Amino acid sequence: MIIVQRRSKVSGFLHYNSMKRIITILVALSAVLSMNAQGRHEIEVLMGGPVSGIFFNECSSYAKYDYYYSSGNTLKDLYEDVKYRDSFIGMGLVYSYEVKSWLKLGIDATASIEEVTTRKGLAYKEDANNLYSQGVSHFTVMPMARIRYKDGYKAEAYGRIAAGMEFITNWGDEEQKQFAWEVVPFGLCFGKKDLHFIFEMGLGTAYMARFGISYEF
Amino acid sequence: MKRIFILFAVVAAIVSCDKYDDTFGPSTYESSSPLELYMLSIADDGVSSVLAELESALQTDPDGVVGKYFYTNNGLSLTADGAVWTVNREGPLSGATMKKVTGKNVWMISYNGDFSMNGTSFPTTFEVTATLADSEIGSHMNWDVEFSGTRTEEDGYSCSFSNAEVPVGFKAIENTRNWGAYGYLLMTVYKENTRIDRILMELRGLRSSSSITHIK
């Protein structure tokens, strides 16, 4: 019990530190970018998922497959724990400003929570159907460039490229950091005047698809 | 605008389906657990294979075609005192040696090689002492078996196994080439040579009626 409480405090502290760091970076960069901005500013609020960390981390959908179809044919099946992760939808906040008519620069921040589930080895009958879940949060901060491909009457086609850092908490007892990147080969922006709807498909650390609204001012 | 809302609804539905996708489902182990099946395969796949090979060799003429090409022997029938046979043919027990114990209907069999159990093949050793429980040699016999062995698997896992205290009875099942095993099987599991589990299994002749106990 004591151990659980202590872990909770540690992860909470790290979580707080990550949030503070992200907000500080965003505010500072936004201030710097705003001073030099010539064009319009834009704020995007997006929902997206799943977390595509499956490409980088040890736990993947393959482990989930192993869990359900592990037959216990080997001692490793019987005695080794298996972890798998289910992705949850993340929230994204993007600030950008117009450098050229076809180019916007800014900051992309994404926060998401996923569930990591552990299945104990199959050797003990009482553990065979017991799963232990843990929430894991991801914060990604990436400087970003958004490139307009084509501007139509009510729609705009664009691409996006971003690179930065990802902070992972509650994964074990220590915060993990890793390089983060995201490429959006194709996105669509619909709407009138300053308010737009956005839908985009991406590949990278933060999301694979997301949608939301943007406001230009 | 209508199209945009339809698009949003479709995306939300797809994401929701992905979140609650329950195509996979946890297995339940109402009958034999994976560990029971693993241990049963030591008796059913391992020791039974040894007995099948022994019975086959006991029916074989040492000077016949089968005796010469499938086995290396010292010219004595395996039923004769002093007989030593080695399995030459390709098969699960290729390389196993069988020796007759003088003056008794007892044979000692040893094997060291890759052995397939549960569809996986790993380095395995067997030392089996099989005592004929019947009054005379027939086509499919009952045996009292003492055995021990080891199996070395992937990622540092290994195990040792043996009968516990008294020999395990292997009773011939009529109209088959199989046996029902009766007795106790003891298995110790190691990870990087450190003991992580010890299990005693009671064998009751049929797979569904066995039981296991973890011994710490």
User: What amino acid occupies position A193?
Assistant: K
Closest chain B residue by Cα to residue A191: B1
Compute the CA torsion angle B178, B180, B184, B186 (nearest 10 deg). Answer: 30
Closest chain B residue by Cα to residue A123: B35
Sign of CA dihedral A32, A37, A41, A42: negative
User: B135-189, pLDDT tens digit by residue?
Assistant: 888 888 999 999 999 999 999 999 999 998 889 999 988 888 889 999 999 999 9
Q: Is the peptide bond before A50 cis (omega within 30 degrees of 0)?
A: yes
CB atoms within 10 A of CB B107: 24
* Nearest CA-CA distance, residue B95 and chain A, Å: 24
Judge: B191–A190 Cβ closer than 8 Å, yes or no.
Answer: no
Q: Which of A67, A74, A132 to mutate to test the interface with B (most CBs of B within 10 A)?
A: A74
Could you report the predicted ipTM of this complex, rounded to two decimals? 0.78
User: Is residue A173 within 8 Å of residue A10, measured between CB atoms?
Assistant: yes
Q: What is the DSSP letter of B210?
A: -
User: Is residue A106 within 8 Å of residue A94, measured between CB atoms?
Assistant: yes
User: Is residue A112 within 8 Å of residue A74, measured between CB atoms?
Assistant: no
* Tokens matching residue B83: 């007989």
- % helix / strand / coil in chain B, to the nearest 5? 25, 40, 35
Give contacts of A71 with chain B, Cβ < 8 Å. 34, 118
User: A103-160, pLDDT tens digit by residue?
Assistant: 999 999 998 877 777 777 777 766 555 666 777 788 899 999 999 988 777 788 999 9
- A9 membership: H or E segment, kind and range: helix A2-36
Cα gap B195→A31, rounded to integer Å? 61
Give me the pLDDT at residue A198, please. 94
Mean pLDDT across B60-73:
88
Note which residues in 83-122 of chain A have CB less than 8 A from chain B.
86, 88-89, 122
Judge: B34–A74 Cβ closer than 8 Å, yes or no.
Answer: no
* Tokens matching residue A216: 């230009």
